[in-house]
A and B are shown apart, each in its own frame.
Chain A
Amino acid sequence: MSEKTSIESKEWHALPGRAALFMIVAALTIAYLQSGEPVVDAQQTGAGIPRTVEGRPDFSGIWQTLSVADYDLEPHSGRVDAPPGAGVVKETNIPYQPWALQTRAENFAQRQVADHTRLNCFSLGVPRSVYYPEPFQIFQRPRDITIVRQFGAVRTINTNGTKHPEGPIGFWLGDSRATWEGDTLVVSVQDFTDQTWLDRAGNFHSEALQVTERWQFIDPDTLSYSATLEDPDVFTRPWTLEVLLYRHKEENFQLIENYCYTLPYDEFYPYPPFEDQVREP
């Protein structure tokens, strides 16, 4: 075993970090149980965040990233099909296995025709559906959090103590089960199809992908979102992306359905076209 592999293996497990995290979570959980009130970490959440009747952070609202993550998760200069971006990957670059780096290069070369997820208006997967440049709406109940996008399947994040079903299943959005760690919603997502890309630049994953998302307020109108992606078939170690999500506050702002997979046959209905639908060329 080479030295490099050994280091990666150690990072993969990252035991000291996880142990520390566990201690923090355990302390918060004990504090929660003792006080009967949700733990508010003022440093993490800021003051005055919206809360549900049960005292949880209330993520209800319409959100959207301002990042260019969907164009390319990694740092990149401006190009014909993407505005420039400093990247949203904490480790700067995605730690691909050598074969996967080659596949990503092939994807990149074909990106304007091969990004089937986006070009066919399919459900975008997780985390891509979070940083795709269209608004999405969060609806929240104690038992679950529902994410409706302008197209694609509705996503349910279960917060009722239920577990992942036995896989593999091949969901487009994965299967989401979450717990609260203080004011942070921690979501475990798995059972993915391998059909979705992570961005327009050809970054990809396999069915073995497991995502851990962390959603939390940094102020009443801004969410911090991170996703840690583990996929031992494609990456050499877990890696994390981070974006901010901003609340839409425009007057009467609402989602507008965008079932763009219907566009190839849109012109055939209704038939014959009504006068006010005939557009100037």
Chain B
Amino acid sequence: MNKLKRLTGRRLLMLAPILLSGVPEYLLAQGQWLPTFEVVPSGEWTAARLEDGQPDIQGHWSNTVGNQDNFTDPRGGIPGDPTGAGGGGAAAIGTNNPVGDRRQRAPSRVSDPVGGEVPFQPWARALQQEFLANFFNPTKEQYIEPLARCAPGGPIKSLYWHGYEIRQYPGYIVFMFNSSSRIIHLSDAPHLPESVSLWNGDSRGYWEGNTLVVDVRNNNGKARLARTGEFHGPNAQITERYVFANDGSAYTYHATIDDPEVFTRPWTVTIPAIRYQEGSPLNGWHYPAFAAEHDGDELINEVWERTCVENNGNHGKVSIQ
């Protein structure tokens, strides 16, 4: 019954070539990525609510189209890879080789402009290209991707860097990422003073039907959006819209980045995510959970402590050549 429910819930994702071989989470657990996704439409929330009235979207989530190797071509590998296998380290093995031609691969994470390119000002484009050109052989500290050093991924990249958990409380939503955490304040209290800048920003949010809208300020602009080097500046204003499907299976994230110091116009990132839960295949990347020990019969999965810098667990090159 439960499984049947989950299967029908997946109809939301348009996966014609894949449906025959199983539900998406099983493919993802095997290290495959999905080449396409359907955007969840914004609208009413008709499903379960928490006691404080928030839509209940608690649980474990992970993106479906690719990791952080390549921002505008998520399955395109990292351009310039001398091995042809990508430089992402063990976590990315098997996921970052270019697949097929561009039309067969997942779309750019940039959904606006429609061409899928980041509308960088020329100087900023040159910086991104410089970073990428030096990614595999970093000769300066700034060519090392900060996440490789366990730095927080920032509000955007954190959503395609391992699966993560969302917990909800009256007045708050807490994201627990692989590297760092983030607290969304569901209030209109003022942001921190402008001179305070943070890897994961300072977030104020509210619910609009099935959509969580979050205003992110106080960004430090230090995270790269991918190993391909895209970035925004420290004065970026990010408006996030997390649109949740009423069947609880998926959500679509849109972030509009307004940063006239770096870009020629505001632009939008779109990231799909699906939910993992008891019964989903455990997977060290998307759903690094363990079955809890207890006296009852029900399956209770839990994610253990997530540390990175403590374990010297870097993700790629962290020293200059």
Contacts and interface: CB of A to CB of B under 8 A. Distances in A.
Interface stretch (B88-96, B194-202, B277-285): B194-202
Contacts of A3: none
A139 B174 contact: yes
Interface in B162-207: 167, 169-170, 172, 174, 176, 180-181, 183, 185, 189-190, 192, 196-200
B316 interface: no
A252 B197 CA distance: 17
Contact of A269 (B180, B198, B222): B222
Given A146-B167, A161-B296, A274-B235, A268 B141 contact: yes
A256 B234 contact: no
Interface residues of B, number: 52
Interface string A69-92: 000000000000000000000000
Contact of B174 (A53, A120, A146, A172): A146
Contact of A270 (B192, B233, B292, B304): B233
A265 B138 CA distance: 14
Nearest to A116: B310
A165 B198 CA distance: 35
A259 B292 CA distance: 30
A256 B294 contact: no
B293 A162 contact: yes
B181 A154 contact: yes
B288 interface: no
A257 B199 contact: yes
B149 to A, nearest CB: 6
B56 to A, nearest CB: 11
Contacts of A179: none
Given A171-B304, A262-B199, A274-B234, A164 B222 contact: no
B13 to A, nearest CB: 29
Contacts of B190: 252
B152 interface: yes
A230 B146 CA distance: 39
Nearest to B167: A146
B231 A270 contact: yes
A209 to B, nearest CB: 15
A274 B146 contact: no
- Residue among A158, A261, A271 facing the most chain B CB atoms (10 A cut-off): A271
Contact of B294 (A161, A266, A268): A161
A277 B180 contact: no
Nearest to A164: B293
B46 interface: no
Contacts of A93: none
B155 to A, nearest CB: 12
B48 interface: no
Interface string A40-62: 00000000000001000000100
Nearest to A165: B293
Most buried by B among A158, A252, A261, A262: A262
A97 interface: no
A148 B146 contact: no
Contacts of A130: none
B52 to A, nearest CB: 10
Contact of A271 (B142, B189, B292, B296): B142
A154 to B, nearest CB: 5
B150 interface: yes
B51 interface: yes
A173 interface: yes
Nearest to B127: A271
Nearest to B222: A269
B167 A141 contact: yes
A262 B183 contact: no
A10 B31 CA distance: 56
A112 interface: no
B169 to A, nearest CB: 5
A153 B305 contact: yes
B302 interface: yes
Contacts of A266: 222
A162 B299 CA distance: 11
B40 interface: no
Given A123-B310, A139-B174, A265-B146, A160 B222 contact: no
B145 to A, nearest CB: 10
Shortest beta-carbon contacts, A-B, top 9: A269-B222, A271-B142, A162-B292, A268-B141, A163-B293, A268-B142, A162-B294, A270-B221, A122-B310
13 contacts: A53-B51, A120-B309, A154-B176, A154-B306, A160-B300, A162-B300, A254-B183, A266-B222, A269-B223, A270-B233, A274-B221, A274-B235, A276-B234
Given A153-B306, A254-B183, A257-B180, 15 more contacts: A120-B309, A123-B307, A141-B167, A148-B174, A148-B181, A153-B305, A153-B310, A172-B305, A257-B152, A257-B199, A257-B200, A265-B146, A265-B149, A271-B127, A274-B261
